[in-house]
Structure 1
Amino acid sequence: MEDTEPRSTAPRSTEPKAADGEDGPPGPPAPDDESGTGGAGGNRDAEGEAEATRRKRRRTRIRRTAIAVLLVLLVPLLTAETALRINYMGDPADGTYTRNRDAIWLGHAWVDGRKDDADLAAFARRVKATGIRDLYVHTGPMEHDGTLPKSLYPRARWLVDAVHREMPGVRVQAFLGDVLATESPDGMRLEKAATRAAVVDSARQVLDVGYDGVHLDLEPLHSGDRNYLSLLDDVRAVTRARDAQLSVAAHQIDPLPGFHSFWGTVAGHPKWWSQAFFGQVARRVDQIAVMSYDTMQPLESLYGGYVAQQTALALEATPPTTHLLMGLPFYHENRFGHWNHAETVAAAVRGVRLGLSRTDADRERFGVAAYIDFAATEEDWASYRDGWVR
C-alpha cells in the first residue's frame, strides 16, 4: 500500500552534544523556528505535501473513471461485433437463391429525358436472366407539402410502355421520396393532414401515368410514427383500387432491443426502427425493402454478419403475405457510415443467404433490391449474379 503520510523536512541539529554530566556551552537564544515542523514553514511544507497527495488521488480517480467508462462502452461494442463475425460463419442452406422477386432502384434520368430506347435495350440485356422483376424509378422528389410537379417526369409514360414491351413481366413503380422534418426544421411534415392527403393525391397522379405501383421513401422516419402508418393505410386504399403495388423503403431494425432510443439520445438520429414498428409497416404494404447498407461496419465480415442479422429480424417481423427485400449496396462511398471496402455486394448476398437459411429458408415472397443503377460496377453485377442468381 502506498505511504501517503506527510513526512517532516526539518534539518537535523548540527550542534555538538555535551558529555554525560556536563553542561554544554551557553549558546545564543534560540530563534523562531522557520524550518522545523513546529513552525509556520513546516506547516506550509506539510500542507504542500498533503495537497500534492490529494491531487495525485484525484488524478488516479479520473484515470480509473475514464477506464471504467471506456470499458462500459467498448465491452458491449466488442461483444456485439464478435457476435456479428460469428453470424457470418457457416454455410448457407441449399436453395437459398433468387425467387425471381428481386428489384432495383433506378435514377431520375429514366424519366426526365436523358435516357432513350438504346439505353433501355442495354438495360434489358443487363437484367435478362436475373431475378429482377420490379423497378423503383425515381420520379420525385415530392415537395414538402406532399405535391408532385408533373414537370419532373416528362418521359414516364415512354418508360412504362417501353419496359412492358421490352421486359415482359417486369413492373415499373414510381419512386417518390422526400426529406422529413423530423431532425431539422425543413422538410415534409406528416403530422399535417393536408400533407398526407397531398401525398395520396401524388400516388393517384403517378398511377394515372401508367405506373404499376408506388414506392415511398421518406427519411429520416422515426420508429413508432403513427402519422406514417396512417399515410400507408390511405395510399394502399388507392393502390388496391387500381390493382397496383404499394412498396416502401424501410429503415434497419434495432440490432439490440431499444437501440433506436439509445442512439437517438446519443446522436440525435435514431436511425433504426423497432422490430414491432417494422412489422406494423410490413403489414400495411405489398413490398418492404430494407435499406441494409450505411451500417458503419468497418469490415466485410462484420457487414455480412450484420446483414444476416437484419435479414433474420426482418423475416421474423414480416408476414408471409408481404414481399420482403433486402438491400444490396450497388454504390461506392467512403465515409463514417459506409466503408466501401466493407459494404460489398458479395458480403451482403452471403449475409442475406445466411439469414434466410437460419430463419425461413423456404420463404417465397423474398428477394434482394439493388441500390442504385447509375453507380453500379461490373463487379457489383457479377457478385449479384454469382452469389444470388446462380
Structure 2
Amino acid sequence: MLGLAALVLAGAWVWWQQEPEARGTEANALWARHQWVGEPHTDAEYRAFADLLEQNRITDVYFHAGPFEADGTVPPAKYRYARDLIKAMREYAPGVRAQAYLGQIRVVDGEGVIDLDDPAVRERVLETDEEFLDLGFDGIHYDFEPIYPDDEAFLTLMDRTRELTRSRGRLLSVALEQPTLVDAAQPVYRALIPRTGPVHYPARPTAAFLRRVADRADQVAIMTYDVALPTQALTGWHFARHTRATLELIGDRTTVIMGVPTYRPLAEWAETLPVALRGVRRGIDDLERPPERPYGVGVYAGWTTRPGEWARYRDIWLPAPASGAGA
C-alpha cells in the first residue's frame, strides 16, 4: 500500500512539472461579501471596487444578498443598500454584471432550512428573485446546498427562474459542488451512507444531472475548492481533472466558471490560488478543442483575497500583454 501511494505521489509530481500553455479567458467571476448590499459605502469605496474588477477583468460579481428565510423571502433590511450598489456599478463598472447571490441550506430527509419541495416556498423564492431584479441586478445566482442528482424540485425552481430572468433579459447562474468521480458509485453511496448527519455522502452532481442544470442556466459555477489533498501536485490534478471533465461535458451548453479559492483551507500548503489556477490551465490544455461557450474562473472569495493574491492571479491567469504594448 505504501509503495502504491509513493508511485501515485511521484507520478503526480512528474505530471505537475509541465508548464501550462492556456491563459485566462473571457469570463471571470467573483463572490462578493454581503456588506455590499447590507451596509453603506462611500463613493471612493465603490470606485476602488470598480477599479479592482477592471484590473482583474472580472465580468460577473455574485453579491451575497441572502440568505433566504425558510419561507423563501429575504427581509428588505438585509439589502437596504442594494440600490446604491447597483447605481454605483452602473456608473463605475458598466461592463460588469452584478448578480444577486441567493441560497440557503436545503431541507434533505427532514434536516435543513428551506424546503424546495414545497411549491409555496418555491413561489416565494421567485417573488424574492423578482424583487432583486426590480432593484436592477443583472441576474440571480443560486447556491442551495446540498443539491443531490435526484433533486427534481430544484430543477423545477430553475425552470421557473429561467422563465423570469429571460423575460427580463437577465441571467440565471447556479453554484454546484464538483461532479462525481464515478457516477456508477452513487447508488452504492446512497444505499450505504445517509444523506444527513455528521457522516453523509456528498451531494455531487452526476454527468446527467449536470447536463440538465446546464440546459437551464446561463452560467454554472463549480465549487471546485475544499480539496484537502496533501500535495500541490495532487491538488493541481484535482483542478485540472474537473476543469477538463466539466468543460467537455457542458462547455457547449452554458458558460462554465471554475471556482478557485483564496480563503485559508485545511490543506493551506497545497490548496492555494496559484495551484488552483495552474491546475485549471492544465485542464484547459488537455481539451481536444475549446468549448463553444465562454468559460473562466470564479474567485472565492472577494473578502478573503489579499492584494498579493490578486497580483498572482493577474500574473498566472490573465492573458499576457501583447508584444510592445505600452511602448
Whether these two folds match at TM > 0.5 is: yes
**Shorter-chain TM-score category?**
0.7 to 0.9
Letter in 1 for 2:87: D
Partner of 2:96: 170
Mapped to 2, the partners of 1:238 and 1:195 lie a distance apart of 16
Partner of 2:73: 147
Match runs of 1:1-390 below 5 Å: 88-93=16-21, 96-182=22-108, 185-262=111-188, 265-266=192-193, 267-334=199-266, 339-359=267-287, 362-363=290-291, 364-389=293-318, 390=320
The Cα shift of 1:319 comes to 4.3
Mapped to 2, the partners of 1:83 and 1:190 lie a distance apart of 44
The Cα shift of 1:86 comes to 6.2
Partner of 2:325: none
Q: Any conservation in 2 of the 1:246–1:285 contact (CA below 8 Å)?
A: yes
Mapped to 2, the partners of 1:259 and 1:312 lie a distance apart of 21
Q: Deviations over 1:344-388 (max 9, x none)?
A: 111111111111111255335101000111111123212211111
Mapped to 1, the partners of 2:44 and 2:181 lie a distance apart of 44
- CA 239–75 in structure 1, closer or farther in 2 if over 3 Å, else same: farther
- Three-state SS of the structure 1 residue aligned to 2:59 is strand
The Cα shift of 1:121 comes to 1.6
Q: Deviations over 1:150-204 (max 9, x none)?
A: 1210111111110111012111000001011226623111111111111111111
Letter in 2 for 1:341: W
- Three-state SS of the structure 2 residue aligned to 1:359 is coil
The 4+ residue runs of structure 1 with deviation greater than 4 A are 74-87, 259-264
Q: Deviations over 1:41-80 (max 9, x none)?
A: xxxxxxxxxxxxxxxxxxxxxxxxxxxxxx6xx8998887
- Gaps of at least 5 residues in structure 1 are 1-70
- CA 255–165 in structure 1, closer or farther in 2 if over 3 Å, else same: same
- The TM-score, its normalising length taken from structure 2, stands at 0.88
The Cα shift of 1:260 comes to 4.6
Letter in 1 for 2:168: R
Letter in 2 for 1:216: Y
The Cα shift of 1:87 comes to 5.6
Mapped to 2, the partners of 1:160 and 1:384 lie a distance apart of 26
Mapped to 2, the partners of 1:247 and 1:75 lie a distance apart of 44
Higher relative contact order (CA 8 A, sep 6+): 2
Letter in 2 for 1:296: A
Mapped to 2, the partners of 1:228 and 1:78 lie a distance apart of 42
Mapped to 1, the partners of 2:317 and 2:311 lie a distance apart of 10
Letter in 2 for 1:245: L
Letter in 1 for 2:20: P
**RMSD of Structure 2 on Structure 1 (CA):** 2.3
Mapped to 1, the partners of 2:112 and 2:163 lie a distance apart of 29
Letter in 1 for 2:208: A
Q: Between 106-115 and 232-241, report the one with greater CA deviation.
A: 106-115
Q: Deviations over 1:227-247 (max 9, x none)?
A: 111110110000000000000
The Cα shift of 1:280 comes to 1.2
- Three-state SS of the structure 2 residue aligned to 1:111 is helix
Q: Between 214-223 and 83-92, report the one with greater CA deviation.
A: 83-92
The Cα shift of 1:259 comes to 4.5
- The TM-score, its normalising length taken from structure 1, stands at 0.74
Q: Any conservation in 1 of the 2:258–2:297 contact (CA below 8 Å)?
A: yes
Mapped to 1, the partners of 2:316 and 2:178 lie a distance apart of 22
- Gaps of at least 5 residues in structure 2 are 194-198, 321-327
Partner of 1:54: none
Q: Any conservation in 2 of the 1:87–1:308 contact (CA below 8 Å)?
A: no
Q: Between 83-92 and 343-352, report the one with greater CA deviation.
A: 83-92
Mapped to 2, the partners of 1:102 and 1:293 lie a distance apart of 16
Q: Which has the larger radius of gyration?
A: 1
Letter in 1 for 2:153: N
The Cα shift of 1:84 comes to 5.6
Mapped to 1, the partners of 2:31 and 2:117 lie a distance apart of 28
The Cα shift of 1:129 comes to 3.2
- Three-state SS of the structure 2 residue aligned to 1:173 is strand
Q: Any conservation in 2 of the 1:100–1:130 contact (CA below 8 Å)?
A: no
Q: Between 221-230 and 255-264, report the one with greater CA deviation.
A: 255-264
Mapped to 2, the partners of 1:136 and 1:77 lie a distance apart of 39
Letter in 2 for 1:188: I
Mapped to 2, the partners of 1:234 and 1:82 lie a distance apart of 49
- Three-state SS of the structure 2 residue aligned to 1:201 is helix
